[in-house]
Structure 1
């Protein structure tokens, strides 16, 4: 049965570390329909775990706009200054926003944008080149980012896939999904909102419904 709160359906991944290694469980998103050149996936949610321990990640599908200040957006880069603002509920209202720069970056002027079902970010003419990344996230943490540029308009129509990995990760770092060698997709069958992800002794994955 689906669990709900005031923000919508709650999805959960329970993880178990049956390997002999300590490390970080990390959930990231892929989007097969997001063909925007230069788009990057980020380490979305993370948790460190020793061998023979377990934990969980849970979230609701609530999108947000995000930016992060950085000199470049390449694999392994992390950043300090950032901002995330909630997007409109269900991608229907307040689903557009403007990124501007005045001694620092900020989001301004949330609007209802059409057509519905997408998230829109306008980058105004004040944006410096190659000093920040901008994109969307979920539950307040960034999931997809692209290098910020002046006078650009970005359109995101998210249809995310959820993936889990284990290794040395920091939340919000840019990851190269093509080079992820030990990750597994966590798909939620219809009517199922909790999945179990077990890292086995041989470092393989077992993914089953809860």
Structure 2
């Protein structure tokens, strides 16, 4: 975990960082406990919100974990994070609610590896379809990490992070989030150009997880995809034999 607070308003980068702070993401995804068998609650903006209700019908307490796989992400070595998590006792349900609102994120992680923790020190609202908000720079100025506004956009459909040469190797990581929760992260190597191309592919699993945990998705054996094909609400049930059943709500 980081041992100091980042400083964002400093030196020659003051104006650009001040601008970014004003646009920081503030929405949060929800994980709401509920009674087993209850239907998920849709927000007023149902067309822009997704819900997944997960019922734990197993005999054990489980941490429910929703994550995304890096399908055609465009950034080699990017790792999936435990995006949304919630505890669930046997015969209880939790409901996750989110919207596809993206952000840039960074954290002081040291070497990024599975089992570690990506706890975002800062997030800035982003939009792959908006060329005023789809590219950003990450630097290390006067001993402080931070995002600064980039000069010029990335191509439409991409969320690009340009790591500046002053970022020390093996110290920090950057990535993208959704609904103010980090989804993917990669080591911030000096000089790296990181064109994240998001294609949301949702997976749910159960076990022992915490939000922001760096995952090795190849080692997760009891995960199942959650396809939102023409629907915004899905149900997933973890059966007594730890198998999954997934269906539209």
Query: In which range does the TM-score fall when normalised by the shorter chain?
Result: over 0.9
Query: Between Structure 1 and Structure 2, which shows a larger proportion of strand residues?
Result: 1
**Aligned counterparts of 1:42 and 1:108: Cα–Cα separation in 2:** 24
1:185-196 superposed matches below 5 A: 185-190=225-230, 192-196=231-235
**Aligned counterparts of 1:36 and 1:23: Cα–Cα separation in 2:** 32
In structure 2, which of residues 65, 69, 82 is the aligned counterpart of residue 26 of structure 1?
A: 65
1:117 aligns with 2:143: no
1:44 aligns with 2:77: no
1:96 aligns with 2:135: yes
- Misfit runs of 4+, over 4 Å: none
Query: Between Structure 1 and Structure 2, which shows a larger proportion of helix residues?
Result: 2
**Aligned counterparts of 2:194 and 2:170: Cα–Cα separation in 1:** 16
2:190 corresponds to: 150
1:76 corresponds to: 115
Structure 1: which 5+ residue stretches go unaligned? none
1:205 aligns with 2:240: no
Question: In the alignment, is the contact (CA less than 8 A) between 1:66 and 1:84 conserved in 2?
Answer: yes
Task: Report the 3-state secondary structure (helix = DSSP H, G, I; strand = E; otherwise coil) of the residue aligned with 1:134.
Answer: strand
Task: Report the 3-state secondary structure (helix = DSSP H, G, I; strand = E; otherwise coil) of the residue aligned with 1:174.
Answer: coil
Deviations 1:153-178 (A, max 9, x none): 11011112000010100101100000
TM-score, reference length from structure 1 = 0.92
Question: In the alignment, is the contact (CA less than 8 A) between 1:123 and 1:153 conserved in 2?
Answer: yes
1:162 aligns with 2:197: no
**Aligned counterparts of 2:208 and 2:163: Cα–Cα separation in 1:** 33
Deviation at 1:65, TM superposition (A): 0.3
RMSD over aligned Cα, in angstroms? 1.9
The 1:3/1:168 distance shift into structure 2, 3 A limit, reads same
Bigger Cα Rg: 2
The 1:160/1:91 distance shift into structure 2, 3 A limit, reads farther
Structure 2: which 5+ residue stretches go unaligned? 1-41
1:51-70 superposed matches below 5 A: 51-70=90-109
Task: Report the 3-state secondary structure (helix = DSSP H, G, I; strand = E; otherwise coil) of the residue aligned with 2:186.
Answer: strand
Task: Report the 3-state secondary structure (helix = DSSP H, G, I; strand = E; otherwise coil) of the residue aligned with 1:178.
Answer: helix
**Aligned counterparts of 1:4 and 1:95: Cα–Cα separation in 2:** 27
1:172 corresponds to: 212
Deviation at 1:112, TM superposition (A): 5.3
Deviation at 1:36, TM superposition (A): 2.6
**Aligned counterparts of 2:118 and 2:102: Cα–Cα separation in 1:** 21
**Aligned counterparts of 1:171 and 1:151: Cα–Cα separation in 2:** 29
**Aligned counterparts of 1:27 and 1:201: Cα–Cα separation in 2:** 20
Q: How many residues align?
A: 207
1:135 corresponds to: 175
